[in-house]
Structure 1
Amino acid sequence: MNENSLATPRNPSTGLLRRLCDLPPAQYDAAENWVSYGNRTPRATRPASSVVLIRDSPKGVETYLGYRPGGSPLGSVAFPGGSLEDDDEREIPWYGPSLSEWSKRLGILDQRVVRAHIVCAIRELFEETGVLLAGTDELSVVENCDSEDWMAVREAVAVQDKSLEDVLRKRGLGLRTDLLRPLSHWISPNFALRRFDTRYFAAALPVRQEPSLLRGKGIWAAWKVAAEVIEQRNTTSLGDEVGAPDTKGLSLSKITTPAVEVILEKIASTRGTVAYLSVRRELKSYHPELVQVGGEFYLDVTTATAAEGGGLGRGR
């Protein structure tokens, strides 16, 4: 996006900021068809969950980003996550807030859907990174999940040969749902060919666990200092590091979604992991809209300003 296209306050008194984010090249055709053919019936969304894994470092708070091939609605470079599966609604060993409390936090009345979003978040995090938010009681967390046996379990869960419930019950474990913090709710733009209705959560990296790529599926993932990613977002450094055809030579907005960029901004402005997780947030919903400015397509989204949401900057 050029220097004249900056995020500007839509309503300063409410602390809201209008942002215009670059559209990833892979979405150009869908955007053009949406406008040219007058298609105004959005495709159905699939419910999804994503986990923002964070840890402290000398350079600032780091988060774990990975490459997602195939034009994922979560972004080509994004946080661990994916769509809900049927098994995610099954009852499962559970520590932490009750379903009733989680229902209030997420603003979802159907507790089966609430359970599915939380189970999906923990399952996808485990599949994609090996980090498991589970323990034998409400105070413990499983350790050292990087063995060959655990990798085999991740592979089995990923292809649905095993359910997360089966894995936990066999080992006497329950989900540590208290380690999750709800962040925000994002719905994919109407023109998109694949659309998610995504609940974002945050979690600190548990002690004596370390993320790793899923064997045979993972292509690239790394801990990245959020402040550095935001500082360099107008460059191609992250896209070039990933090195995929749909990331090389592209800036941050063109390889991810507004959701990821906004969350990275907020992490970049925090004082540390504890501070970030301790913030009491009003769970907000966001639905980026396709707009044309000067013949170019952008995603239009309104977010909180720095005072409201923690250091938001230009939507570029």
Structure 2
Amino acid sequence: MRYFEVPERQRGAAEAWLERGSGIPGSTPTPASAVVFVRDGEHGVETYLTYRPGNSPLGTVGFPGGPVEAHDDEPLDWAGPVPTEWARRLGMDGDVSRARRAVVAAARHAFEEAGVLLAGADPMSTVESAEGAEWMSSREALAVGDVSLAQVLGRRRLVLRTDLLRPLAHWVTSDFAHRRYDIHYFTAVVPDGQVPVPLQSKGVWGRWVEAAEVVSDPVGSRLGDLVGQEDTVGRTVGDLSSPGVQCVLESVAECSSAIAFLARKRAVVTRNPVLEVRDGRPVLRLDWS
């Protein structure tokens, strides 16, 4: 059993939910995907975090990601495990279309939010750089829904490299939240030559951080102060990120290298924190069994 603090931005909703009594069904969670990029740093494994204002189910600070969109169903050139295999890996046996959308959405958000393109001219190569005005224009068009990832890749005759992704975790936002995600986390390394860069119009902050350093400061504000935004300064990791992000950061911190993290065998188990009262305050309970 493990308990997480309810972020300050969600406490009003949590208290209102508890006042209405248990057993009330939550809103239907929106399918979503996120990508955890890892690399070897000077003092340990690093991961790329981004800042998002507002009240996202992904947290104020988290990994590049977001909701699945209808256009993630569009056909595109595909390399790597076939969708039926992805359905098995993600625990979606019998729902191949859903698994395919989750994979495409992960790649789309990685490119849109961080400028990392998991694609190449053929199944064995990757784009050497996704920087410059033309690439940024494509990312901006993706962000507002003017184009799909399939269109971006098709215009450049690129193949989506799904073999570069590894399934990592599956989390569902607690029932009390106004906005809920049913989110699949994937992990990958940034292809050689590419550099993560925040989206020009929306990206405020994105940075490689040492995972062990972040999780070693659970009650301090080191991460929030590093982000440096009005709604992050002075806040703890638990107040800035979702339970899913916190647990992923801990799993990254446990590994001796990026390769070890990518190679680790793991079952994708659905985690759905439950809201309850503990010591007079709302908390999220997670059953690890």
If the length of structure 1 is used for normalisation, what is the TM-score? 0.89
Q: Is the 8 A contact 1:126 1:132 kept in 2?
A: yes
Q: 1:216 aligns to what?
A: 201
Cα offset, 1:37, TM superposition: 2.1
1:35 pairs with 3, 13, 18, which one? Answer: 18
1:102 pairs with 56, 63, 86, which one? Answer: 86
Cα offset, 1:232, TM superposition: 1.7
CA deviation string 1:122-157 (max 9, x = no partner): 000100010000011121011111111111111111
Cα offset, 1:246, TM superposition: 2.8
Letter in 2 for 1:244: Q
- Higher mean alpha-carbon deviation, 181-190 vs 275-284, is at 275-284
Q: 1:295 aligns to what?
A: 280
Does 1:264 pair with 2:240? no
Letter in 2 for 1:78: G
Sequence identity percentage: 44
- Higher mean alpha-carbon deviation, 107-116 vs 203-212, is at 107-116
State the distance in 1 between where 2:194 and 2:109 align: 16
State the distance in 1 between where 2:44 and 2:190 align: 15
Matched residue pairs, number? 287
How do residues 114-193 of structure 1 correspond to structure 2 at under 5 angstroms? 114-193=99-178
Cα offset, 1:294, TM superposition: 1.5
Cα offset, 1:162, TM superposition: 1.4
If the length of structure 2 is used for normalisation, what is the TM-score? 0.97
| SS of the residue 2:38 aligns to | strand
Does 1:252 pair with 2:237? yes
Cα offset, 1:281, TM superposition: 1.1
| SS of the residue 1:115 aligns to | helix
State the distance in 1 between where 2:230 and 2:85 align: 43
1:46 pairs with 30, 50, 55, which one? Answer: 30
- Higher mean alpha-carbon deviation, 239-248 vs 47-56, is at 239-248
Q: Is the 8 A contact 1:67 1:219 kept in 2?
A: yes
State the distance in 2 between where 1:251 and 1:203 align: 26
1:284 pairs with 263, 269, 275, which one? Answer: 269
| SS of the residue 2:117 aligns to | coil
2:74 pairs with 90, 97, 112, which one? Answer: 90
Letter in 1 for 2:266: R
Q: Which runs of 4+ in 1 moved over 3 A?
A: none
Does 1:22 pair with 2:2? no
| SS of the residue 1:303 aligns to | coil
Q: Is the 8 A contact 1:26 1:246 kept in 2?
A: no
2:185 pairs with 188, 200, 204, which one? Answer: 200
Q: 1:75 aligns to what?
A: 59
What is the RMSD of the two structures over their aligned residues, measured on CA atoms?
1.1
